Amino acid sequence: MSKEVKLFYSRDEMLQLNKQKLLERGVNVDDIAKIAYNQQARYNPNVDYDECVKSVEKILSLRDIFHLLQLGVEIDRLTEEGMFKGPIQDIMRADLGVFGIDEIFGLDIARLYGAIGQTNFGDIDVNKQGIVAKLNHDGKSNYPQCNTFLDDIVGAIAAAASTRVAQIISEDEAAKK
Ligand code: MG
């Protein structure tokens, strides 16, 4: 009997599957929303934390993000289990600084919110805080744990959420005029 193949998921299914995948790796929506909030609070005194949570959830329900997150987390898991053949296994396991494919995943997620999304991702990537700092630290020091892709995926979702919140605030400002 052939295995039933499911290729298409609803927005709600993708949100739930992404939340579940993140939780398996010790990350929850609040962890990501806090980074988005802290970043945006530097520019906007009126940031609404609930809007940050809603933005993270919206981003987690998008198909492109679903594919990137599900794939990136599986790459980390397989790396932990030593499943890759050839030099890439050790390069990913070490989270080598000049290996930039994880950043490509991050930039692609952040690109949802244009140039500002991408510069916000760069900021989070350089000034690691909260869960991003923890993932980066644990991946580098708790062998065999590997968070090479996850820290960028989480940072980029936070950057996208932060940029979305900035756009909502801009929209609210425009509506006042
Ligand atoms: Mg990384």
**How far apart are alpha carbons 15 and 29 in whole angstroms?**
11
Q: What is the CA radius of gyration of the chain?
A: 17
Residue ranges of domains in the chain: 30-176
Torsion on CA atoms 105, 43, 37, 166, rounded to nearest 10 = -70
Token pair 């809007």: residue: 51
Residue 155 Cα to ligand 1 middle (Å): 9
Residue 140 Cα to ligand 1 middle (Å): 10
**How far apart are alpha carbons 88 and 172 in whole angstroms?**
47
Residue 51 · residue 162 · CB < 8 Å: no
**Which pTM was predicted?**
0.96
Residue 146 Cα to ligand 1 middle (Å): 9
Please tell me the total number of residues recorded for the chain in this structure.
177
30-176, CATH topology level: YutG-like (1.10.3760)
Average pLDDT rounded to a whole number, residues 58-71: 98
Query: Is residue 46 predicted with pLDDT exceeding 90?
Result: no
What is the reported pLDDT for 1?
A: 62
Query: Is residue 3 predicted with pLDDT exceeding 90?
Result: no
Token pair 């990501």: residue: 32
Which residues are found with C-beta within 5 Å of the ion, ligand 1?
102, 148, 151-152
Average pLDDT rounded to a whole number, residues 99-113: 97
